[in-house]
Structure formats: structure tokens, C-alpha cells
Amino acid sequence: MFAKEDIIDGLGKEERSYDCRVSGLLEPRHGADCQEPTLCFGPWQRLMPSVRRLQTNAETDMSEQTRFKEQLRRQLGFLERSSTSYDMGYEDEAIRIATTIRVLIHDTKNSTSLLSHLNSRTIKLLTTCLGAVEENVVAYDGLTITNFSGGSGEVKPKLGNGLVTPAQVSVEEWWNQVVFVAGKACRLTRRDIVLNAANKDGGAHVDSALTPEYEHAVAGLWTMFIGGEEHSTKIEITGSHFMALRQMAYELLNSPNLASLAA
């Protein structure tokens, strides 16, 4: 150890490099200390840069696939937690479901979906809808169910309670399957609902205008009449886009191929 006064007296006699460690004291830096920069936090602590071995191409590919699988497990966890929040009454959590589904499935020229990163767009996904909807159909709801009880009715995601036997379909068929028809001018696929919710309705971005079909789903696709002809109660069914997104989360979380891919 050297006191400050000793160093001043010894200037010019011997060249030394000093590093301040303790208030009022200086100590010489050794050769090994001079090779790499250090951050000092006290007399017994210092932080040095880590040294990593460069990976081979095969190792890089393996580490990327491991990271993508970790991301898949994370995204499925997001779906589970958002679904739980939705079921607790936070129905607008469906917008976050849309953002997660977009990450999993949607490819553009500027971004790659997680399934494409995993080279897994050939897997099958669960659908709770009918097959193809004919062009002449003017009213169809593939993702919700109506329950009547005590003179009132409730429309909600059907989850596993639908009358249609679930089927396994390709990713592209699932993504582009028509799930709502409300008149000749309003046909909505899963892709339409997810991208409007994620890209325009607050998932990842808010746009000044939504598509007319999506706005129709927000305002209400259906009107329910309960009771007799003379004393019926009229109920506007709003928020069909939220219900649809919750049902899509159910389908993905119950897709065996997707669960196996994440394992």
C-alpha cells in the first residue's frame, strides 16, 4: 500500500499505474489488471468483462431453436393467463390474446411468425367450427354459444361445450377459416379478427379506422329476442370479437400438436 504523500514524493523515480480502491489510499495495478478494464465497487469486489467462445453454425442453429421453443412456451403462458383474466370478467384482455396469436402465426415480408421460426407451419390446430362455410350462407357463428335460462339469454365463447365435434386442421386452414357471417357483406375469418384487434384496436397499435366487418363485430353482430311476439325482450349482442378471441385461445391451448412442439 502507498499513501498519497508517498506517491507525490516518488514521482519521476519509478513509473507506476494506480487505481483508487479505498478512500485515502491507492494501490498499484498489477499486469493482469491492466489487460482488461475493471469496474470496482469496494476493496473486495470488481466486475470484469466475460469471455465467450464463438459458436459454430450448428451450435447457433441449436441455440436458436431452443430460444424459439422457450418463446413458444412463453406465448402459450400468455394465452393461459389472458384467458384466466377474461374468464374473471376482464373481457378486453382478449385484445392481448390477439397480439399473442399474431406472434404465433402471422407472417409478413418484414416479420416471421414463431411457428415459421420453428419450421412448424405443417402442424395441425384444433378448430371448434364447422368446415368451409358456403357462399350463400348469410348468418353463421362458429365460435360462441347461446345459453337460455330464466327468461334471459347469454352469448359467450363455447370453449369445449359446442355441438360441433372439434377437428384438427392445418395452420393455414385454421387461420383463414370463416368464423362469422352476418349478412352477405360481413364475413370474418380468424385472421381478420386477430389482425384488426392486434394492429388497429390496441393490441400493438391503435389505428384511426377499423375495417367495416370488424366494427360490425364490435358493435354487435346479432340481436336476440326473448319472449313471445307481443312481449319479447330485445337484446343486442355486442363484443363478438372478444368472445371469438377467447375461443381461439381455447383452441390453441387444446391443440395437441402445439403442446408437443412446446414440450
202 SS3 class: coil
Look at residues 57, 63, 95, 65 and name the one whose alpha carbon lies nearest to residue 78: 95
CA distances from 19 to 6, 23, 24, 36 (A): 15, 11, 12, 13
Residue 216: the pLDDT is 74
For the whole model, what pTM was predicted?
0.73
Q: What DSSP character marks residue 89? A: T
Note the residue count of the chain: 263
Look at residues 99, 97, 148, 105 and name the one whose alpha carbon lies nearest to residue 125: 105
b/e burial code for range 51-73 (CB count within 10 A of at least 16 → b): eeeeeeeeeeeeeeeeebbebbe
Residue 19: the pLDDT is 44
Domain locations along the chain: 2-47, 62-262
* Ramachandran area for residue 151 (φ above 0: left; ψ -120 to 50: alpha; else beta): left
Per-residue pLDDT of the chain (263 residues; tens, 9 = 90+): 545 445 445 444 444 444 444 444 444 455 544 455 555 556 556 666 666 665 566 556 668 889 999 999 999 999 999 999 999 999 999 999 999 999 999 999 999 999 999 999 999 999 999 888 888 888 888 998 887 665 566 788 999 887 788 999 999 999 999 999 988 888 999 999 999 999 887 776 676 777 878 887 777 776 767 666 666 776 777 788 999 999 999 999 999 999 999 99
Query: Which residues is 19 bridged to in the sheet?
Result: 27
Residue 130: the pLDDT is 84
Residue 15: the pLDDT is 44
The DSSP bridge pattern shows strands 18-22 and 25-28 to be antiparallel
Query: Which residues is 28 bridged to in the sheet?
Result: 18
